[in-house]
Chains A and B, each alone.
Chain A
Amino acid sequence: MVYEAKEGHIPSAYSIVDIILSLYAARIENETKKASEKDIFALSKGHAGAALYAVLAYFKYLSKDELWDYCKTNSILGGHPDRCKVPGVVLSTGSLGHGIASAVGIAYANKLSKKDSRVFVLVGDGEMEEGSYWEAIMLAKDLELDNLSVICDYNRSQLKYSYHHNYVKAMSAHGWSACSVNGHDFKAMSELWKKQNHELQFILAETTKGYGVERMIAEGDNAWHRRTPTQLEYEEILEELSR
């Protein structure tokens, strides 16, 4: 996708793809629920949209061929997802700190409509620097919601530039049930998603930007955050991922 388009955030996508795929498999696409009460996933860190598109294609919201048009002029798949264009996308995101508050709104709306549907929203650790994130966190607590899970993609790339924060402790202090999980451990995450939870839940998913590709991890974020691989790098990365 990104190699074809020469645009996109590959390391961010590799950081979250295991989270999204395991969540869709264990929860969102769980066929035991009736369609109107399907659980909802929203990607607040829209710049990792490529990972969401791949998962949506896997679950047949999109055709796999459409992925090759990613970021091209007439494609429905942009650098940040657009709910008006892409089937299965709940929120149009890209500006950080918006999706989280809209997810609180969706969870509240589900309460008003008495829908038994849980909302999962994925934010970035960098995104948690936004003031509107903390507005939304406090609002959800004030509204006594119990049908919302916030998953933080804790890849620490942004933390190089700011203080180290203990987000589990901070979210607990705000009255949320908070825990951490290895964001690349498919089995552990699947078990976590399957648990029926009736509280405000914060999950710190410990992840690695560029997970699965040694050179992206070794060369780091400055080199790869928004870089497209050369043809040789692309072939080597594909080979590494298929191992």
Chain B
Amino acid sequence: MNQLAEADNRICVMVGDIGAFGFRGFAEKFPGRFLNVGIREQSMVSFAAGLAIQGFKPAVHTITPFLIERAFEQIKVDFGYQKLGGCFVSVGSGFDYAALGCTHHSYSDIAMMRTIPGSHVFYPASPVELDAILKYCFSHSILSYIRIPARNSQAMIAKNLSWSLGDFYPIRHQENPDAILITSGGLVDTCVEALPYIHSGVNVSILHLPTLQPLNETKISQYLKSTHAHIFTIEDHSVRGGLADIIRDLILKNQIKTKSFQACGVESEFIRSYGNFQELCAHVGIDPKSIAEKINLLCINP
């Protein structure tokens, strides 16, 4: 952010009483361009729209449910409807704050943000992707939502792939795969960790989609068209309106032949259990073992 703000004096950062410590260097370097607006999410978003109207480029940051779900109407009306550029960056999506309970979970943020016309939705898995996405957002006057996961993907970091809008990343590419796992952000490594539990005769590819909207549909459908595999979507989000619906729409629209389509994510429930992220993944059925079991079941005994 410091580099971006250095290069463009219209960039401003607003936070809702989180991350002020992490931004202290930014605040000192760019006086007035960092604001801890406080616990006022709705007016923080409308306030940021006021800055955008006057030519500034606001980034607005706080915990997912309070940024996207609480202040959704402000994002929709003050940015979407008014065609203003703004970058909304959240932490604590899905059930990253596992033990804090349902008030601090958010399984609907991607679905909600996708419904705003013109919005861009991102779920990166590594700091390199995040930097590239932020750079893209600030150099285009767009309404964007970036969901930052609590864990960086070591697999994605090791790949060192350069990011481009709408593209997918083959974390693992197999010729003639039996199953393709499509995931993004915080669950990339979970999919990689499922591999040791998958039967040795089953070929599995893993794709990471850091851009959930807009997609490079042509490229993704070309990749999937040649495979005729079982397609799995793995997400720490509701299976309604998120990655599952995005990929299902793409498959139907492009008449992609698949052996089956399996949506793995949060079904219609509040996750009332506590514990850590991995434990809640197991509860939902998106931990490495559960993912592997589903794949083995379909691919070994078709």
Contacts and interface: CB of A to CB of B under 8 A. Distances in A.
Contacts of A95: 73, 77
Contact of A139 (B37, B53, B81): B37
B81 A105 contact: no
B27 to A, nearest CB: 14
B49 interface: yes
A91 B53 contact: yes
B54 A136 contact: no
A92 B56 contact: no
Given A98-B78, A105-B48, A136 B43 contact: yes
Nearest to A113: B54
A104 interface: yes
Interface residues of A, number: 33
A25 B258 CA distance: 68
B50 interface: yes
A173 B25 CA distance: 35
Interface of B: 12, 32-33, 35, 37-38, 40, 42-56, 73-74, 77-78, 81-83
A77 B186 CA distance: 46
A44 to B, nearest CB: 10
B134 to A, nearest CB: 21
Contacts, number: 92
A106 interface: yes
B42 A102 contact: no
Nearest to A104: B47
Contact of A105 (B33, B38, B53): B53
B47 A112 contact: no
Contacts of A139: 37-38, 40, 43, 47
B51 A109 contact: yes
Interface string A100-138: 111111111111110000000000000000011001101
**Which 5 pairs across A and B sit closest by C-beta, in order of nearness?**
A105-B50, A101-B46, A109-B54, A135-B43, A101-B43
Given A90-B53, A102-B46, A131-B42, 14 more contacts: A82-B81, A84-B82, A98-B74, A100-B46, A101-B42, A106-B54, A109-B51, A109-B53, A109-B56, A112-B12, A113-B54, A132-B42, A136-B43, A139-B38
